[in-house]
Amino acid sequence: MQTEAMVMRATGGPEVLERATIELPEPGPREVRIRVRAVALNHIDLWARRGLPHFRYEFPHRLGADVAGEIDALGPGAKGAKVGDRIVVNPGLSCGACERCLLGQDTFCRSYKIMGENTQGGYSRHIVVPDANVLPMPKGMSFTDAAAIPLCFLTAWQMVVRKGQLRAGQTVLVQAAGSGVSSAAIQIAKMLGARVITTTSTEEKAARAKALGADEVIDYTTQDFVAECKRLTDKKGVDLVVEHVGGEVFAKSILAAAWGGRIVTCGATTGFTPEIDLRHVFFRQVEVLGSTMGPKGDLFGILRHVEAGTLKPVVDRVLPLWSAVEAHQLLEARKVFGKLVLEVD
């Protein structure tokens, strides 16, 4: 079938995104077709649009990892959904049959992909995905709110809960409060009973971070976050740092950690090659852990928390899908707190 989408025919700036009519294959065995109603932006959209050496594109390429919509058609043998169901899409794609997948460690699958990176994404009126990747939307939720959940909450959950092992009474530093991952991490950490310190650059973002549950907000444009973390913890340092900024911020995050503390990183928006003093890692026994997304199964529990109101998606603004160029410009200019969502008419 034919459908409309925002595509890119080459890597580059936001201007490479264009509206086009594309051919979409019919859903195959254990696949479903989705009428996309909303798709949220992530920083991986920016990286994939600019191009990275390990990305392999099939042009015209569609970005977009986070999708909410309705089941439009079922392929042969598709299970777990019926036509008309309101669903969210888990953006992690894996084989589902290897040892790692069967252990619930699908992010380690050799064929693991995230929608919109090395495979086609959700900037489209319709998409086809495996039936294993669709989950019921929380009751009473809008499509735009639902689209703001999957990638950032899965990522934050793995960083805070699985790898960070954060416990009640501990202190966590969440870098860059305005990002989607950080707005989720703040909420998860507070739900666990931790003390949350976060960093940001404006009074408006500081107020929004506190509304999400942050106990202390550091303005990194005027304050040294390492010194502030030491002051706020009686010189001990923080038990966990949730980090995705990279560069100098990553290097300084190690200094902000307590002896035996953990740094969990899922990205490097400002630089991939920080200069670090390894003595602070081995002598103070600081653990540095990499993290990408999270197991598919974790999204079920996250959505239950959302439905119960203990976690909530943070949507900064909603634009039409056909305004994706503007949306990319806003995200690159860091003029967003939480998620920017594209609505699909």
- Alpha-carbon distances, residue 133 vs 66, 129, 304 (angstroms): 11, 7, 16
State the angle between helix axes of 180-191 and 150-157 in degrees (0 to 180), rounded to the nearest 10.
Answer: 50
Contact 63, 49 (CB under 8 A): yes
Contact 124, 36 (CB under 8 A): yes
- The pLDDT tens digits for 195-213 are 999 999 999 999 999 999 9
Q: What is the pTM of this model?
A: 0.95
Contact 327, 321 (CB under 8 A): no
Spatial separation of the C-alpha atoms in residues 43 and 79, rounded to whole Å: 32
pLDDT at 292: 96
pLDDT at 269: 86
Nearby residues of 53 by Cβ (< 8 Å), 6 or more positions away: none
DSSP per position, 128-164: EEEGGGEEEPPTT--HHHHHTSHHHHHHHHIIIIIIT
Nearest CA-CA partner of 242 in 169, 312, 168, 153: 153
Contact 20, 5 (CB under 8 A): yes
Is 274 in a helix, a strand, or coil?
Answer: coil
- According to the 3-state scheme, what is the secondary structure of 214-229? CCEEEECCCCCHHHHH
| DSSP state at residue 107 | G
pLDDT at 270: 86
pLDDT at 55: 83
Spatial separation of the C-alpha atoms in residues 134 and 222, rounded to whole Å: 44
- Estimate to the nearest angstrom the gap between the alpha carbon of 55 and the chain centroid: 18
Does the CA dihedral 336-265-300-165 come out positive or negative?
Answer: negative
Low-confidence ranges of the chain (pLDDT < 50): none
Domains and CATH numbers, the chain: 2-149+313-343 (3.90.180.10), 153-290 (3.40.50.720)
Give the helix/strand (H/E) hosting 17.
strand 17-23
Spatial separation of the C-alpha atoms in residues 166 and 164, rounded to whole Å: 5
